[in-house]
Amino acid sequence: MIVDRGTFRLDMTLTAAPGDVLALLGPNGAGKTTALRALAGLTPLTDGHLRLDGTPLEHTPPESRPVGVVFQDYLLFPHLSALDNVAFGPRCQGASKADARAQAAAWLDRMGLADHATARPRRLSGGQAQRVALARALATRPRLLLLDEPLAALDARTRLDVRAQLRRHLAEFEAVAVLVTHDPLDAMVLADRLVVIEHGRVVQEGGPADIARHPRTDYIARLVGLNLYRGQADGHTVRLDTGPAITTTEELSGPAFVAFPPSAVTLFRDRPSGASARNLWHCEVVGLETHGDQIRADLTGELPLAADLTTVAAAELGLHPGAAVWATVKATQTHAYPA
């Protein structure tokens, strides 16, 4: 699709299969919101096509598109209860009042909001309001769900909870979801595929781990540089679904994510003597990429990971593809949170 807004031009191709969750990432002014607005029908295409389930969409007005939208600032109807906000979509689609309200009640229940059905939006917390907004979007059974910075307005604690919930709902969602975010962590946790836009064009797309290991631009290297794993937490340890355990500062139990930036990894050629065996892994260098004055090393082995080091350090270590190294990360540099 091609979309002109003043002097700015967005020129991108986006394809997704049912069940895919795509994250659009990019610096300010890259065109993320423009892309979302074009998909929703709020901004017209200059050229190109949109197809959803094989049906052309570009001439369908926004209100007739099978598209649900969740905005950062919820945009709930202030004069309607949570229940009636969610019932609004099914009602517009022709459901009887009783049926629309029954569907809405089921959605609120699924979001853990059954007790807040009668509350007006101003009585809801940010996290609750955002879950109502998600329920309202899902209640229309959209074939395309658009989420514009859905977690940005939430405080850090609420963000963790809503992110975990959103993740579950997106995993169950059978159609296509497109998420715009500034936060690489949200993108990597929530999406199967990242699409990075700069200056109105796609500069890279792929799986989160793949992009973190092989960033194609300096912006992507800085932004998406995150090692992210999933496992089962037990106290200060997260045992990964595939691979070893990682010691963390946070104490958790149950399904969890662990993340740490490539800059938190220290590499050694020889096993560091006296080092504790915690968060120490034997790895092999697969690739090296230069970004500014940093080198990102792509490692496989006990734990696949990305490590950043200076060009001087890389030369001193004599790193080259195939080299065996020991990688270590301090527990204080890792961050664990519920999955």
Ligand X SMILES: Nc1ncnc2c1ncn2[C@@H]1O[C@H](COP(=O)(O)OP(=O)(O)OP(=O)(O)O)[C@@H](O)[C@H]1O
Least Cβ distance, residue 195 to ligand X (angstroms)? 12
Query: In terms of CB distance, is 30 or 329 closer to ligand X?
Result: 30
Least Cβ distance, residue 9 to ligand X (angstroms)? 9
Given a contact cutoff of 8 angstroms between Cβ atoms, the answer to whether 14 and 57 are in contact is no
Query: In terms of CB distance, is 75 or 80 closer to ligand X?
Result: 75
Least Cβ distance, residue 42 to ligand X (angstroms)? 10
Query: In terms of CB distance, is 22 or 113 closer to ligand X?
Result: 22
Contacts of 244 (CB under 8 A, 6+ apart): 281, 302, 303
The CA-based dihedral angle spanning residues 203, 206, 211, 215, taken in that order and rounded to the nearest 10 degrees = -20
Query: In terms of CB distance, is 31 or 231 closer to ligand X?
Result: 31
Least Cβ distance, residue 5 to ligand X (angstroms)? 4
Spatial distance between the Cα atoms of 255 and 242, rounded to a whole number of angstroms: 13
Residue 43 is given by DSSP the state S
Least Cβ distance, residue 102 to ligand X (angstroms)? 37
Query: In terms of CB distance, is 32 or 101 closer to ligand X?
Result: 32
Least Cβ distance, residue 153 to ligand X (angstroms)? 14
Contacts of 243 (CB under 8 A, 6+ apart): 229, 302, 303, 304
The full DSSP string for 195-244 is: EEEETTEEEEEE-HHHHHHS-SSHHHHHHS--EEEEEEEEEEEEEESSS-
- Residues that bind ligand X in the complex, under the rule CB under 6 A: 5-6, 8, 26, 28-34
**Helix, strand, coil percent values for the chain (each to nearest 5):** 30, 35, 35
Contacts of 295 (CB under 8 A, 6+ apart): 288, 289, 308, 309, 310, 311, 314, 319
Query: In terms of CB distance, is 6 or 54 closer to ligand X?
Result: 6
